[in-house]
Structure 1
Amino acid sequence: MGSHNFEIHDKGASEHDAQAEGHITPFNVYVKVACALFALTFLTVGAHAIHEHLQPFAALIAFAIAAVKAYLVMAFFMHLKYETKMNRAIFISGFLFLLLLFTICTLDIYTRLIQTSVL
């Protein structure tokens, strides 16, 4: 068995706190965001109840409400609102690639609908 030398370095309290603390969001912000999410959920349920009257726009309205809810969750609960611009850009680029993937898949589906069967 070899002997191991472990050195323990005591970081200064201010240096450690600056790295670990980050941004502290007040509790009332979380309550307001949660209330907004509940309100948007009820709005989604209400839109579904009258979806026959909104027929051409029903899906668009549902996606818009879902996008607002996703923004609220990402901005406040995932703390992206307080991140650096580089982290935001990296996060948004993931969604742009997802949008590109959905676009390619949708175009593929529509080209298959246009084709007639040869069988």
Structure 2
Amino acid sequence: MLLGLLGITICASLPLSGVAGLAASLSIALLKSAMIYWRYMHLDEEDALNRIAALAASAWLLVLLLFLGIDYWTRAFS
């Protein structure tokens, strides 16, 4: 499944460019990372508390990356 998504990523990168290409690449990457979380971190075998902890860690990483992007974007104005 991951190799199939890799092929889709490569095929989508050729005709798509700009915002559409970025959106397609990021959505495929999000799907691939969710699959890796689910299977290789064995979240399919864990109880609900561990799944919530993994989701909270992912949300916290997203918040940190969002703040990093905002900081990088606002430095251009000063």
Answer yes or no: same fold by TM over 0.5. Answer: yes
For residues 1-119 of structure 1, the aligned pairs below 5 Å read 36-52=1-17, 55-115=18-78
Deviation at 1:94, TM superposition (A): 1.2
Percent of aligned pairs with the same residue? Answer: 24
Give RMSD over aligned pairs: 1.3
TM-score (norm 1): 0.60
Gaps of 5+ in 2: none
Gaps of 5+ in 1: 1-35
Could you tell me which residue of structure 2 aligns to residue 20 of structure 1?
Answer: none
Deviation at 1:78, TM superposition (A): 2.1
Aligned amino acid, residue 29 of structure 2 = A
Higher helix share: 2
Could you tell me which residue of structure 2 aligns to residue 33 of structure 1?
Answer: none
Q: Rg larger in 1 or in 2?
A: 1
Aligned amino acid, residue 77 of structure 1 = Y
Moved over 3 A (4+): none
Deviation at 1:57, TM superposition (A): 1.6
Number of aligned residue pairs: 78
> In 1, Cα distance between the equivalents of 2:50 and 2:9?
31
TM-score (norm 2): 0.87
